[in-house]
Amino acid sequence: MLTASRSNGVSDSTLEPSSEPPAVDAGRRRFLRGAVVAGGGLAAAALAACAPSSSVAPWAYAPVASPAATPAATGGSGPTSAPGTAAPNPTTDHGASPAPTTGTGGDSQDAAALAVVKRFLDGEYGKVDGAGNQPYGDPRLDGGTKVFELSVDKISHRIDANKDPVAALGFNGMWPGPRIDIIEGDRFRAIFKNNLDESTGIHFHGQQLPNNMDGVPLITQDPIKPGDSFTYEFTAKTVGSHMYHSHHNATDQVGRGLLGAFIVHPKDPAQRVDRKYGVSQDIVWISNDSLGGFTINGRGFPATAPIVAKLGEKILVRFLNEGVMMHPWHLHGMPMHVVARDGYELGGASFRCDTLGVNPGERWDVVIDCTEKGAWAFHCHILPHAEGRQGMFGMVTALVVQDATAAATSARTGVSSVVSAAASAGSTSTLCRVL
């Protein structure tokens, strides 16, 4: 199912021995060497185009323009950099692996990694204000229509406790925006008030709806100008995990936080995840990889929130990729049962894996049977998105599976659930020793 996106472009025929005469083969080698030399400039140009800027903070990917450089009230969607600004030299150094150290470099490397992990174990995820992806709550009712009111705002957002806040965007003041949960067949109305100094438009990604509600400015509607509002209204038809996000200057606006989860639950209660799969937690996991670097629900490790479950509990995780890169999510210790893609049940085609690649725009639902106690790493397995010489960062969190002993230890000592679960599972880490 995923092989098409992972093809390395090598056909079987390239692995067969050559049947050409030696002279022809030698000529072909000379040609290929020449092509490599001639094509070097093209390859370098392509690499430069894909590389992040060396002048921005590590892990800050494009878009990197400040809000002041964003097109203003005219609603234009042109370049976001200031006119006349020289482009910085490109680099392939993502900041994860600085130059090798000498002498006691190993010790300093361990110390840096330990300091970051300690922040996670100490519960940094609960100490940073402004968490996004919070439930919208009960909508207002207008007859038989559920009405959701959302603002489109400029916000100051923290990726973790140590980094300076970033100039981001959000719905109702948060990134990701409020989680919206509705029922199949609901009449849905969303009123968006644009508080930005640029125009926008909102698309409900994955929904079957009238064309004039599709949220593509200049095609299905005019852009929502600064200070104006626009109302989207439709009947929720497409069950499952979906998204709402900007569809105007989208690279910049979605990259800076105009994104959220739109979950449509089946009308039949027996088909809802709690009863169909026996899950007790329904978790939305939104990845992004632009402003602020590599994030899960708007946070980077060590400020990412762990998933805490009881031993024997079943949970559902909805992976939503709002970024521009594919992220293969890898769970240590136990498999994931993949039950839906883009909201559509896989049925007999469901499968189990421990690493699941999620492409931009995709949504995958997985059920995890928490059969193994401990603190299990859960991270993107493109390693430059998760760990470097200074330790873990970005797209890393943990699935914490607590037995009764771990839960009692947390209650008795006040240590985090991550520490108590790791200790109960026999961790020998100094950081996870509990008296």
Mean pLDDT of the chain: 82
- In this prediction, what percent of the chain has a pLDDT beyond 90? 72
Distances in Å between the Cα of 16 and the Cα atoms of 10, 22, 25, 46 are 12, 16, 14, 30
What is the torsion angle, in degrees rounded to the nearest 10, for the CA atoms of residue 63, residue 65, residue 67 and residue 72?
A: -90
- Whole-angstrom CA distances from 70 to 22, 64, 197 are 60, 10, 8
Instruction: Locate the DSSP E strands across 44-143.
Output: 140-142
The pLDDT of residue 104 is: 52
Which pTM does this prediction carry? 0.78
Domain ranges (residues) in the chain? 126-402
HSE of 205, CA atoms in CB hemisphere, 13 A: 23
Hunting for tokens 């022809």 — which residue is that? 24
Spell 58-96 as b/e; 16+ CB within 10 A means b. Answer: ebbbbbbbebebbbeeebebeebeeeeeeeeebeeebbb
Count how many residues are written for the chain.
435
Return the higher-pLDDT residue of 250 and 21. 250
pLDDT score of 435 = 57
Tens digit of each residue's pLDDT (9 = 90 or more) over 356-412: 999 999 999 999 999 999 999 999 999 999 999 999 999 999 999 999 999 999 999
What is the per-residue pLDDT across 47-80, written as a single tens digit (0 to 9) for each? Answer: 333 444 433 333 333 333 333 333 333 333 333 3
User: Which phi and psi angles does 341 have, rounded to 5°?
Assistant: -130, 125
Q: How does pLDDT run across 241-286, given as a tens digit for each residue?
A: 999 999 999 999 999 999 999 999 999 999 999 999 999 999 999 9
126-402 under CATH 2.60.40.420, yes or no: yes
Task: Provide the pLDDT for residue 105.
Answer: 61
Dihedral angle, C-alpha 235, 236, 237, 238, nearest 10 °: 150
Which of 134, 100, 162 has the alpha carbon at shortest distance from 286?
A: 134
With both helix axes pointing from N to C terminus, report the angle between 417-424 and 105-121 in degrees, rounded to the nearest 10.
110
Name the DSSP class of 4: G
Q: pLDDT value at position 107?
A: 85
63 upstream amide cis, omega within 30 of 0: yes
CA dist., res. 114 & res. 92, Å (int): 26
